[in-house]
Structure 1
Amino acid sequence: MGLRLRLAQRQDIPQLVAVERSAAQLFRQQQEWQFIAEGEVMSPQQHVDFIAQQREWVMVSPTEQIAGFIAVQPFPHSWHIAELSVAADWQRKGVGKRLIDEVAGLALRQGVQRLTLTTFVQVAWNAPYYQRLGFRTIPVARLDAYLQHLLAREVGQGFAANSRCAMEFTLS
């Protein structure tokens, strides 16, 4: 495959936006979520912010084509995966898993204890995929304030409350 991980750079932003739009096209397969394929993606300013904090990584080919990216928000004992996207041409080739594995290794070396994310419960390439990678659904009673806020914001954006969940991956 010849891909390597590196920190995202400002000049990557147009490709990052294109990768996320490409990844979102999978939602055309789900009748109730087709609108996501046409919906908003991370703004260039959001990418600028993650890049400035050195919290966004890309998996690139030898020709610098971005196959996928991951952006995280750091917290004292966890990193929250704000976005993980793999371009359509690179899907089902282990790029998402590799991005998570690489970032998990970086997090662990910095003393981080877990990765978290929010995702769709019933979409095959969301919660079921993350479960296969070792993530576990966080029971509602155990959600921290930030994850509660994220899930509530997602409901405010029109997602059914029971369609989304928070998950965690414990690093060791």
Structure 2
Amino acid sequence: MNDIRPTRYDDLTVIQQIELAAGELFHDVGMSDIAEHPVPTTEALAEFVRAGRSWVVVDETDTPIAFVLVMSVDGLAHIEQISVRPEHARRGVGRRLIDHVDAWAAGQGIGALTLTTFRGVPWNGPYYERIGFVTLEPGERGPELTRLMAEEAAHGLDPAQRIAMRRDNRARR
């Protein structure tokens, strides 16, 4: 079983590589513009490390194979990005990271996780629904989440394809 640990600064270029590799899958669903979207800079990724809101799943050589970035949105733990190296996908790695964030959030007194994602991409909206996330209607979104989705639209993401989702914290139950 692969370990989860906090992201280190020396992981940042590997995280960028994971993001590039995971993004390639969007070519398969006709979303080449998403596949070719630039990866976050190491400076942007370092902000998550400094805040203590980034974790990686590592292989037996302590090399990251997946990562998650978390920020606070409307007082909830918002999954800004989660990516798994494609050759490690469909093995529960992403779910373990989400459950790790869930437990972390519970320890911080945070009651839920949120994220924004593509409605119809199989490893996006439908996947998150299977693991307990529910789609939030526009009136159910807080002001920061609403603003975040407006920023996504301003950067070219089609609002008709995007959804916001929430999962109440399982570790608190």
- Do these two structures clear the TM 0.5 threshold for a shared fold by scoring above it? yes
3-state SS in 1 of match to 2:132? coil
- The answer to whether residue 71 in structure 2 is matched with residue 73 in structure 1 is yes
- Rounded Cα–Cα distance in structure 1 between residues aligned with 2:74 and 2:105: 11
Partner in structure 2 of residue 3 of structure 1: 2
- The answer to whether residue 151 in structure 2 is matched with residue 138 in structure 1 is no
How far is the alpha carbon of 1:30 from its aligned partner?
1.3
TM-score (norm 1): 0.95
CA RMSD of aligned residues (A): 1.1
Structure 2: segments with no counterpart, 5+ residues = none
Q: After superposition, what is the alpha-carbon deviation per residue over 1:23-46, rounded to whole angstroms, capped at 9, x for unaligned?
A: 111101111x11211211221111
Q: After superposition, what is the alpha-carbon deviation per residue over 1:47-97, rounded to whole angstroms, capped at 9, x for unaligned?
A: 110001110000001201211000100357411101101011111111100
Q: Which amino acid aligns with 1:103?
A: V
Structure 1: segments with no counterpart, 5+ residues = none
3-state SS in 2 of match to 1:64? coil
Q: Percent identity?
A: 34
Indicate if the aligned counterparts of 1:55 and 1:71 stay in contact, CA closer than 8 A: yes
Partner in structure 2 of residue 28 of structure 1: 27
TM-score (norm 2): 0.94
Q: After superposition, what is the alpha-carbon deviation per residue over 1:102-161, rounded to whole angstroms, capped at 9, x for unaligned?
A: 110111122110000000011111010000000000111111111111111111111221
Pick the aligned partner of 1:155 from 149, 153, 156.
153
- Rounded Cα–Cα distance in structure 2 between residues aligned with 1:143 and 1:79: 14
